[in-house]
Amino acid sequence: MSERIRAVIFDLDGVLVDSEQVWDAARRQLAEESGGHWSESATQDMMGMSSTEWSRYMHEELGVKMPPEEISAAVVRRMERLYREHLPLIPGAHEAVERVAARWPLGLASSANRPVIEMVLELSGLGDFFETTVSSEEVAHGKPAPDVYLEAAWRLRVDPALCVAVEDSGSGILSAHVAGMRVVAIPNRTFPPSEEALNVADAEIPSLRELHQEVIDSGA
């Protein structure tokens, strides 16, 4: 085992499942069907937000008249239906997780609601590889705040400085970086992270197929 790295923490959406556009579609449809509207900045604004934060945003900024908790529940129901029809697991996800888990304990730090996390792990067969999973709805602030990564490290009982995070989005990269972790970036092709975010990543690779021990160790 590396002298410095003691755990690896994965993001979910955009890293293990190609789901950002699915979330986008589910929230957009709900907004349009519920008397609200969709703004050009809505997708970018909500990236990394916890369910509490983005449901409030949809209520206050997009004019969805349902209470935030009902907005969140309605979007989750849509996500569950779509995932049961087809889970968009990213190519190489299962192999990468299994490969990394053979060497380090794994955590998951996700902006997704807890029921969505559990469904993805069940349908993908990845659940047994993770020692802990954290939804940002279980902490005070979503990404880019560091809360979800700090909570994952705490549950793993590992100093954040000894963790490597695997992220695809700008808000996620910044979240893990502010938490004091090393960051391996796999830039999201649909919603690419900013140069500012990429500049704080410790390594950058094009896909999960390149996520090997040497890349993780290089973050140290």
Q: What is the pLDDT of residues 13-69, one digit of tens each?
A: 999 999 888 998 999 999 999 989 999 899 889 988 989 999 999 999 999 999 999
Total domains in the chain come to 2
Q: Are 9 and 166 in contact (CB under 8 A)?
A: yes
Residue 53: closest CA among 173, 138, 149, 162:
138
Q: How confident is the prediction for the chain on average, in pLDDT?
A: 94
Query: Does the pLDDT at position 3 exceed 80?
Result: no
Question: Do 104 and 94 share a structural domain?
Answer: yes
DSSP letter at 39 equals -
pTM of the model: 0.90
Question: Do 107 and 180 share a structural domain?
Answer: yes
Of 85, 101, 134, the residue at which a domain comes to its end is 85
| 1 in any annotated domain | no
**Full residue range of the structural domain in which residue 188 is found:** 7-18+88-218
Residues labelled catalytic: 11
Q: Which two tokens stand for residue 155?
A: 């549950």
Per-residue model confidence as pLDDT tens digits over 54-96? 999 999 999 999 999 999 999 999 999 999 999 999 999 999 9
Beta bridge pairs of residue 17: 13, 89
- Placement of tokens 């502010």 in the chain: 178
Question: Do 99 and 14 share a structural domain?
Answer: yes
Q: What is the predicted pLDDT for the residue at 186?
A: 98
Of 85, 117, 142, the residue at which a domain comes to its end is 85
